Structure 1
Amino acid sequence: MSARSTSLLLLLLVSTLLSGCWDRTEINDMAFILTSAIDLEKDGKLRYTVMLPLPGQMGGATGGGGGGGSNGGKSYYIDSEVGETYRECHMKLQKRMSRRMFLAHRRTILVGEDLARRGIRELFDTVPRSPESRMTTFLVVTKGKAYDMMNSTPKFEHFPSEAIRELIKSKSVMDINFKDFGISLSLPGADPVAVYMDVKDSEQGVESSKEVELKGYAQFRHDKMVGTLENDTAMGLSIINGQKMISHSITLQMGDGQMSARIYEALTNINTKLINQKLEYDIALNIKATLMEDTSHYDLSQTKNILLVEDGISKKVKSAVQDVINQSLKNNVDSCEFGNFLWRAYPGEWKSQFEKNWPESLKDAKFNIQVQSQLTDTGLIFDNVTRERISQ
């Protein structure tokens, strides 16, 4: 009994040294920010907008999206404030919030185009300082005002923020978050890009809606937006930047009709060469694609026709990659990070010859683009099943 009493006494003494939940925060005291938007006002101040879910209107699913709640109300709340800095706006909003705004659940940060063109380097001081902010948050540049995108009404999701996040996560989009953007800013011979999005009115619907739409990528020179890459040019960027598993649809002009194919894999190899102090890049691309539609009536059971389609895919991809390079040279940016390849291959020459005048020096470089395409699947048929056959 004496030993048991002594042990019990020691446990009681040790328990007095344990700390309690003195800083506990109840979930009912928190407001979870789903996404935030930052815009530039005409007077140079910042407008900071947040989207917060309304717990009282987030009951069970009723069979539809679009933020439907009781009495037709939305299941989220949007508010904004104006100030000189991002944090000043945040604190102004907090003064009229009954719950503490919590940032750890935020997955997207929207930046209006006007602010992006002025420069967004200050965001890389504000966001990383808070332990609640995640550097894996996606950075999105919006055409026009960022808060307009928050007022979109996508039909498939309860929150616009979810529609934005799901589109960014698709295989047709490069995975670019805050960390990736910041790394590109700090790398020698590289200029960052960010996902570029817009709001588009739905067409031919019973009820109109404002849907979120992917436009492509915003090009930056250092931290300032200088241009955009859209359509096939955006596809060319994702291929040349080494996004292996992708999903891009392309249309080919074949004979008297068209073909639609889906590129699902791309392997990129870039070799940097200095020949007599002249810069050359050998870009080798290996593409795999599947056929989705054919109105040209090619007999794809014939190898020669398959080779023609593969050659058409190669030409399409080569043109898209060349367009990316041309657009980068036009905007005086290095969105493909060619300078980083040069720095890794020839660090001494980069420092002494190219660094000071980059990316202007890129205009004198030679680009050798080689594309090898493989049509791996034509679907369940070789030709349109209703087409008339001529007897042999």
Structure 2
Amino acid sequence: MIRRSAALLFILLAAFILPGCWDRTEINDMAFILTSGIDLEDDGKYRISVMVPLPGQMGGASGGGGGTSGDKSYYVDSEVGETYRECLNQLQKRMSRRMFLAHRRTIIVGEALAKRGLQDLYDSTPRSPENRMTTYLIVAKGKASDMLMSTPRFERFPSEAVRELVKARGVIDINFKDFGVALSLPGADPVAVYMAVKESEKSEKPSKEVEFKGYAQFRNDKMIGSLENDEAIGLSLLHGQKMIINMITVQAEDGSKMSVRIYSSSTNIRTTLIDQQVHFNINIQLTATMMEDKTKYDLSQTDNVLKVEAAISEYAKNTIQKTIDSSIQHNVDSTQLGSTLWRAYPEQWASQFEKNWPEGLKDAKLDIQVESQLTDTGLIYDNITKEHAPK
């Protein structure tokens, strides 16, 4: 009897201290934000656009997307305000479900706002635990809202097309946290992925596709330029990602072209002070595979392989130099070479270089050494249609 009374008392006590999900939030009560676009209006106010999936129209897969028409599985809405939170609050007033930001994977910033500065964004976003610092930060050429209204054919949501492009292996991994760390890192200026909307060509049904352009250059928190094409490849090589996929076209001695794919890169930057002058010794090792050869080289011959490797090394060296020249031109250190100087010589950095950096980058000596290895020539050594001398 005593045991039964004790068990009953325990059950009653548990009923009081474990009341259940009294503050539960059902999935049906939430609106999952897929991505946000932030623009600067002409009057100085902010415009925030959000992309929200429509649960009632997500039963079956459908190609394409875009707009807010009834046959799409998402819709885009936006609002203007003096602050970011004011914009979100105005949007919430006309949503029947609570906006939930934890599943957002990309934040797209319009070019005008990026040029004015992202300081306010770094105050608003980290204050809420729903905002993930691993979210990708992207700068859109033009307006961010235009990117949300794109109509990529391969993905159901434009946000998915943006996310897949920004996390591709040929793109430097830059999230919200990485950008913030670069802002506070001595001798470095941050970069962000730079994307644009481009109409498809020669298509029966034209679409507005999302395109990777390169990287936006920043001085402190303000955008001042961009690195595109060769300069963007040079930056990825300097960052030394172990696995990159970059398709490049190089020129042989006779002027003909070859397309090779760089699939591995290792970068070592050594900084020295010689007679108070900065020397950057940049050593890069590349591995590549042949994709197309208009030189008609017989790649079964070692001499021809060495020629290809020399052309790849020369191309990589030139792209890195272009990237550094662009940084010098815009008076920023997008390459973050100054941070290697700070780590190697912290005292000299504080006393001699910190105040005048990145101006001091143009006086530094650069020694760029690239070693390339062609590890795969494809399934053929020589073009089968090439004319050969009769036996």
Taking structure 2 as the reference length, the TM-score comes to: 0.97
Structure 1 equivalent of residue 342 of structure 2: 343
How many angstroms does 1:277 deviate by?
0.5
CA distance, structure 2, for counterparts of residue 281 and residue 288 of structure 1: 23
How many angstroms does 1:294 deviate by?
0.7
Once the two structures are superposed, the pairs formed by residues 179-258 of structure 1 within 5 Å of their partners are 179-254=177-252, 255-258=254-257
Residues 1:376 and 2:375 aligned together:
yes
CA distance, structure 2, for counterparts of residue 286 and residue 93 of structure 1: 51
Residue pair 2:190, 2:334 contacting (<8 A) in 1 also: yes
Q: Deviation string for 1:272-314 (max 9, x for gaps)?
A: 0000110110000000000000111011110000000000000
Structure 2 equivalent of residue 51 of structure 1: 51
Structure 1 equivalent of residue 31 of structure 2: 31
| Count of residues in Structure 1 that have an aligned counterpart in Structure 2 | 390
Range with greater deviation from structure 2 (13-22 or 235-244): 13-22
CA distance, structure 2, for counterparts of residue 303 and residue 72 of structure 1: 62
Structure 2 equivalent of residue 7 of structure 1: 7
Residue pair 1:67, 1:157 contacting (<8 A) in 2 also: no
Identity %: 66
CA distance, structure 2, for counterparts of residue 39 and residue 199 of structure 1: 15
Structure 1 residue runs of 4+, over 6 Å off?
A: none
Secondary structure at the aligned position of 1:284 is classed as: strand
CA distance, structure 2, for counterparts of residue 155 and residue 101 of structure 1: 27
Residue pair 2:66, 2:149 contacting (<8 A) in 1 also: no
Q: Deviation string for 1:62-84 (max 9, x for gaps)?
A: 4x333699x97211111111111
Task: In structure 2, give the amino acid aligned to 1:384.
Answer: N
CA distance, structure 2, for counterparts of residue 6 and residue 59 of structure 1: 52
Structure 2 equivalent of residue 172 of structure 1: 170
How many angstroms does 1:2 deviate by?
3.1
Secondary structure at the aligned position of 1:152 is classed as: coil
CA distance, structure 2, for counterparts of residue 154 and residue 14 of structure 1: 54
CA distance, structure 2, for counterparts of residue 292 and residue 162 of structure 1: 29
CA distance, structure 2, for counterparts of residue 14 and residue 143 of structure 1: 58
Secondary structure at the aligned position of 1:16 is classed as: helix
CA distance, structure 2, for counterparts of residue 72 and residue 44 of structure 1: 33
Residues 1:308 and 2:300 aligned together:
no
Secondary structure at the aligned position of 2:188 is classed as: coil
CA distance, structure 2, for counterparts of residue 222 and residue 3 of structure 1: 70
How many angstroms does 1:150 deviate by?
0.7
Q: Deviation string for 1:2-36 (max 9, x for gaps)?
A: 32442342243234222421211111111111000
- The runs of 5 or more residues in structure 2 that have no matched partner are none
Structure 2 equivalent of residue 299 of structure 1: 298
Secondary structure at the aligned position of 1:148 is classed as: helix
CA distance, structure 1, for counterparts of residue 14 and residue 149 of structure 2: 55
Structure 2 equivalent of residue 130 of structure 1: 128
Once the two structures are superposed, the pairs formed by residues 66-77 of structure 1 within 5 Å of their partners are 66=65, 73-77=71-75
Secondary structure at the aligned position of 1:312 is classed as: helix
Residue pair 1:67, 1:75 contacting (<8 A) in 2 also: no
Secondary structure at the aligned position of 1:234 is classed as: helix
Residues 1:287 and 2:286 aligned together:
yes
Residue pair 1:103, 1:132 contacting (<8 A) in 2 also: yes
Structure 1 equivalent of residue 366 of structure 2: 367
Structure 1 equivalent of residue 87 of structure 2: 89
CA distance, structure 2, for counterparts of residue 281 and residue 61 of structure 1: 52
Structure 1 equivalent of residue 354 of structure 2: 355
CA distance, structure 2, for counterparts of residue 55 and residue 288 of structure 1: 46
Secondary structure at the aligned position of 2:308 is classed as: helix
How many angstroms does 1:56 deviate by?
1.0
Task: In structure 2, give the amino acid aligned to 1:304.
Answer: D
CA distance, structure 1, for counterparts of residue 330 and residue 270 of structure 2: 24
Residue pair 1:259, 1:294 contacting (<8 A) in 2 also: yes
Task: In structure 2, give the amino acid aligned to 1:6.
Answer: A
Task: In structure 1, give the amino acid aligned to 2:329.
Answer: K
Residue pair 2:29, 2:97 contacting (<8 A) in 1 also: yes
Residue pair 1:66, 1:156 contacting (<8 A) in 2 also: no
Task: In structure 2, give the amino acid aligned to 1:389.
Answer: H
How many angstroms does 1:257 deviate by?
2.4
Residue pair 2:65, 2:73 contacting (<8 A) in 1 also: no
Q: Deviation string for 1:135-161 (max 9, x for gaps)?
A: 000000011011011111000001100
Provide the alpha-carbon RMSD of the alignment.
Answer: 1.5
Residue pair 1:68, 1:158 contacting (<8 A) in 2 also: no
Q: Deviation string for 1:317-336 (max 9, x for gaps)?
A: 00000000000000000111
CA distance, structure 1, for counterparts of residue 91 and residue 66 of structure 2: 23
Structure 1 equivalent of residue 320 of structure 2: 321
CA distance, structure 2, for counterparts of residue 137 and residue 267 of structure 1: 26
Taking structure 1 as the reference length, the TM-score comes to: 0.97
CA distance, structure 2, for counterparts of residue 227 and residue 251 of structure 1: 25
Residue pair 1:34, 1:161 contacting (<8 A) in 2 also: yes
Structure 1 equivalent of residue 330 of structure 2: 331
Range with greater deviation from structure 2 (88-97 or 307-316): 88-97
How many angstroms does 1:57 deviate by?
1.1
